[in-house]
Amino acid sequence: MRVEWETVIGLEIHAELKTKTKIFCSCPNEFGGKENTHVCPVCLGLPGALPVLNKQVVEYAVRAGVALNCAIQSYSKFDRKNYFYPDLPTAYQISQYDLPICRNGYLEIEVNGEKKKIRINRIHLEEDAGKLLHSGSSITSSQYSLADYNRAGVPLIEIVTEPDLSSAEEARVFLEQLRAVLEYTEVSDVKMEEGSLRCDANISLRPVGSTKLGTKMEIKNMNSFRALERALAYEIERQQEVLEEGGKIVQETRAWDEGKGMTAVMRSKEEAHDYRYFPDPDLAPIILEPEWVEEIRASLPELPEARKERLVQELGLSAYDAGVLTASRALAEFFDQTVAVYNAPKVVANWIMVEYLGLLNANNLELEKSKITPKQLATLLIVQAEGKISGKIAKKVFAEMFATGKDPEKIIKEKGLVQISDEGALAAVVDKVIAANPQSVEDYRGGKKKALGYLVGQVMKETKGQANPGVVNKLLQEKLK
């Protein structure tokens, strides 16, 4: 009988915290910048320089922790994780080993209409390392490597889940959901492409019904949501093949190759480091007052799940639409603010999802960088509802707003796009069209009702789309009686 396999996945997610300064010094915490300009003796690991914990880092970690339903630990400490690598200035990473700042949380996800709680084992604080740029393809095959320590000392939280995910899709949905929580709570930029959100996965297979975990494989280098899902799907298939052929899975770390669409061995278990963790004697333990934690909890914004629920329950949106609109806080805010001016949630939702997201995607632009304000969109939709412009014109105006950031009324006025509903003004055009299209006129009179549509289209063309189609229709029908 064929064995049915069950997939077990756990994720380890690193998120850079967007605090003003780095975790242990006062250097600016900014992405980019000229190489080695956001550095000081502390983050360069010069001898004698000492780390001092940035309080904002602790606050952000606690904020993420409460948003993810964790128990915030009143006592946690920092440890040194010792290993040599040129991007690590002190040859040890300051991290939290056995006493992390947050424990035992969870995040609820929804896949195919089913809700599932994914447990979070822990969230701990640590510092990021610098960045290396190799002259060749890897550090060992390069003539030289360049080191940039701007990122060294950038604060990170590492979020470790329990092995509660059972498919590649669940893993992707979890990561998207987690991304939304971190974005809503404003603790991280959560940009996978800039590396401010990174995800590694542990995956193993076991026969359905078995309670024992199979040998786990660590997968690294998945730099997008799609990459995570593809890599895991690939790995499930690969492991299943090995097992079904009677083979054994050996514990190792594999890297996802996006171009080749496959994973390859990075290092075996034997090559794994002994990090020699020990408490960092340069830092005092973190002791948190419960009152402070409660203050942070009270200051949390509405989280994605609650917001989605509200859009469905109170505004009557579909679960799908609500999900799309609440995937990022910025988008959800944009929606809410538009609805606040023009209270037609479904119309607004449609416009945002079809027109706005369409333009953003086509231009590869982020919402935050777009020039359109919620008030401008609401105004456009109101003008359209009042019949001052047609739907077609509205889309044109919107494209112009998107490109220039100008108010819709201004665009309509400047380009003379106001809808012409005045019968007197349209009569001349209608007459002209009738005169120029004797064949269509004849067809219509002969009973071909479709010919009217053609004539309306000609009037619209003559008026560059400004004519009110309803009025044109009425005029034509009257004149052709």
Partner 1 sequence: MSSLLGLTGHELQALLTKKEISSTDLVKEYLTRIKMVDDQIKALVTVTEKEALEQARKADGLREKGVKLSPLAGIPLALSDNICTAGIRTTCSSRMLENFVPPYKATVVEKLAEAKAVLVGKCNLDEFGLGTTTENSAFFATHNPHDLQAVPGGACGGAAAAVAGGEAVFALGTDTGGSLREPASFCGVIGFKPTYGSVSRYGVIPCASSLDQVGSLTRDMTDCALVMNAISGHDPQDSTSVSGATSDFTNFLTDDVKGLKIGIPQEYLQGRVVPEVMASFEQAVKKLEELGAHCAEVSLAHQEAIVATYQIIVAAEASSNLARFDGVRYGLRIEGEDVDSLFKKTRSQGLGAEAKKQIILGTYVLSSAQYEDYYLKALKVRALIKEELAKVFQEYDCLLTPTTPTVAFDLGADKEKISRGKLDSLTCLANLAGIPALSLPWGTLQGRPVGLQLLSRACGEETLFRVGYTLEQNTNQTRLKLKGKEVK
Q: Is 230 one of the binding residues for partner 1 (CB under 8 A)?
A: no
State the nearest-atom distance from the C-beta of 61 to partner 1, in Å: 17
State the nearest-atom distance from the C-beta of 195 to partner 1, in Å: 21
Among residues 314, 324, 313, 386, the alpha carbon closest in space to that of 351 is found at 324
Q: Give the Cα separation of 481 and 477 in Å (integer).
A: 6
Task: Build a one-symbol-per-residue string for 13-52: x at contacts with partner 1 by CB under 8 A, - elsewhere.
Answer: ----------------------------x--xxxxxxxxx
Q: Is 458 one of the binding residues for partner 1 (CB under 8 A)?
A: no
Q: Is 55 one of the binding residues for partner 1 (CB under 8 A)?
A: no
Question: Which of residues 82 and 215 has its CB atom nearest to partner 1 in the complex?
Answer: 82
Asked whether 113 and 121 are in contact (CB, 8 A), the reply is no
Q: Is 281 one of the binding residues for partner 1 (CB under 8 A)?
A: yes
Question: How many residues interact with partner 1 (rule CB under 8 A)?
Answer: 33
Residue 48: Cβ within 10 Å count: 5
| Own/partner pairs, 84-90, CB within 8 angstroms, 24+ separation | 85/129, 86/132, 86/139, 86/145, 86/147, 87/129, 87/130, 87/131, 87/132, 87/147, 87/149, 87/152, 88/45, 88/129, 88/130, 88/152, 89/43, 89/44, 89/45, 89/129, 89/130, 89/149, 89/152, 90/45
State the nearest-atom distance from the C-beta of 15 to partner 1, in Å: 24
Question: Which of residues 94 and 352 has its CB atom nearest to partner 1 in the complex?
Answer: 94
Asked whether 158 and 138 are in contact (CB, 8 A), the reply is no
Question: Which of residues 53 and 312 has its CB atom nearest to partner 1 in the complex?
Answer: 53
What are the residues facing 462 on neighbouring strands? none
How would you class 260 by CB atoms within 10 Å of its CB: exposed for 0-12, middle for 13-18, buried for 19 or more?
A: exposed
Question: Which of residues 275 and 454 has its CB atom nearest to partner 1 in the complex?
Answer: 275
The residues, ordered by sequence, that sit 6+ positions from 335 with a Cβ below 8 Å of its Cβ are 311, 325, 348, 349, 352, 374
Question: Which of residues 149 and 351 has its CB atom nearest to partner 1 in the complex?
Answer: 149
Question: Which of residues 49 and 341 has its CB atom nearest to partner 1 in the complex?
Answer: 49
State the nearest-atom distance from the C-beta of 175 to partner 1, in Å: 30
State the nearest-atom distance from the C-beta of 90 to partner 1, in Å: 5
State the nearest-atom distance from the C-beta of 273 to partner 1, in Å: 10
Q: Is 136 one of the binding residues for partner 1 (CB under 8 A)?
A: no
Site for partner 1 in 157-216 (CB under 8 A): none
Binding site for partner 1 (CB under 8 A): 41, 44-53, 80, 82, 84, 86, 89-92, 139-140, 145, 147, 274-279, 281-284
